[in-house]
Structure 1
Amino acid sequence: MRLSIFPLGGVILFPGLQLPLHIFEPRYRAMVGDALARDRKIAMIQPQTSIEGAPLFQVGCVGKIVDVEAMEDGRFNLVLEGQSRFRLVRELDVTTPFRQVEATLIDDPENQVLSAVERAGFEREARSFANAQGYAVDWDSVGRLDDESLINGVSQIAPFDAAAKQALLEAPDLATRCELLVQLMQFFGRREGDDDGQVTLQ
């Protein structure tokens, strides 16, 4: 399928989750206008570097505009809701100011669940990570989330670098993503005084 893309480093979207965006660049304002006139779909994908026109990573997520506020100066505030991960086939040669790609949708399993041991291990590591970073978390609300909402939600908002977030997005299933997320929290959660003496959070 043909997709209009919003290449944004450090930002990923998962199916079923929402992502608020503020659109101000003219080319992306044109992209939103085009999406609203057609199917309301925009594809989020990370560029491999911050250089203009940089090559793209291979996996992204198609989002549908579920809420939009058009401002008088042409900017937009919108909310994208993830629909499906996709795999890049090739970038298209287009005349539009925004980039477009050919892609295939990834058929993710529905209603994936973790084992009790996996869930407990994740929550334990998440508490440790949050405490080390000084985050305030409503753990009662966390406990009521289903496994997919919890793991994908943390993956989407976690303060990791672009490569780490991409690895989470590309994980083939929920259990693999959970295991990787635990490893990343252990790695990125190091504070000054640990072995390398570096804080690696962005």
Structure 2
Amino acid sequence: MFRSSDLPGTIPVFPLPGALLLPRARLPLHLFEPRYLQMFEDVLKTPGRLIGMIQPLPDGPGATPRLHQIGCAGRITAFSETEDGRYMITLTGISRFRVKHEIEGFSPYRNCAVSWDGFDADLGKPEHDPGFCRDTFLDLLKKYFAQEELDTDWDSMRDADDEILINSLSMLCPFDPEDKQALLEAPSLSTRRETLVTLLKFALHGGTNDEVM
């Protein structure tokens, strides 16, 4: 387990729209661009093996996208190489971070100076959601999955721990990047669940604020 003193002041970042990583969750990634293959090889040489996943802001075409202030760092915990030199890797979420500033240099990928302040709970034990009504939540989720033509193992949904269920759905549901950012920035598991419920209802009502309210 990481301690706050183990976390570096600078990390490489991977801006990927719609890709959400949360603490203690796992995110599979397919690396094929040369800059990210180089990043992977460089990160493997570091003690923490950390990559920061972060949402780019929707800037105009052709511009180097600006970044949201908050991302989540993951440790490379598994990888495999394909015959043509690509990598399939798994990141396990360690902690969220706040970008202080981007570091200019000769690296082909982006690096940021970051602060871990305010995210101490990310390094602790799994969270629980005392206000979570699972039956009501699953009824809503079934309607959403039917609308989106998604399938799942409902028995596993009923048995999963609060954090695993809420965070997995936050990562996997096909929400817009800005909605994913809102889920990332939720200060607690209960707040994330409330945000997730709002997004599910919003999708079921055809994306109209009046109907949700």
Aligned Cα RMSD in Å? Answer: 1.9
Q: CA deviation at 1:25?
A: 0.7
Contact 1:122/1:178 (8 A) holds in 2: no
Counterparts in 2 of 1:58 and 1:195: CA distance versus 1, 3 Å: closer
1:108-147 equivalence runs, <5 A: 108=121, 110-115=125-130, 117-147=132-162
Runs of 4+, deviation exceeding 6 Å? none
Q: Distance in 1 between matches of 2:98 and 2:150?
A: 34
Letter in 2 for 1:64: R
- Structure 2 length-normalised TM: 0.84
Residue 16 (1) aligns with residue 24 (2): yes
Q: Distance in 2 between matches of 1:95 and 1:195?
A: 46
Structure 1: state its 5+ residue gaps: 197-202
Q: Which residue of 1 aligns with 2:5?
A: none
Structure 2: state its 5+ residue gaps: 1-8
- Structure 1 length-normalised TM: 0.88
Contact 2:134/2:158 (8 A) holds in 1: no
Q: Which residue of 1 aligns with 2:45?
A: 37
Q: Which residue of 2 aligns with 1:166?
A: 181
Identity value in percent: 39
CA deviation map 1:137-175 (0-9, x unaligned): 211111111111111110011100000010000010011
1:1-202 equivalence runs, <5 A: 1-39=9-47, 40-49=49-58, 51=61, 52-105=63-116, 106-108=119-121, 110-115=125-130, 117-191=132-206
Q: Distance in 2 between matches of 1:174 and 1:119?
A: 14
Question: What is the SS of the residue equivalent to 2:146?
Answer: helix
Q: Distance in 2 between matches of 1:4 and 1:108?
A: 22
Matched residue pairs, number?
Answer: 194
Q: CA deviation at 1:61?
A: 0.8
Counterparts in 2 of 1:118 and 1:102: CA distance versus 1, 3 Å: farther
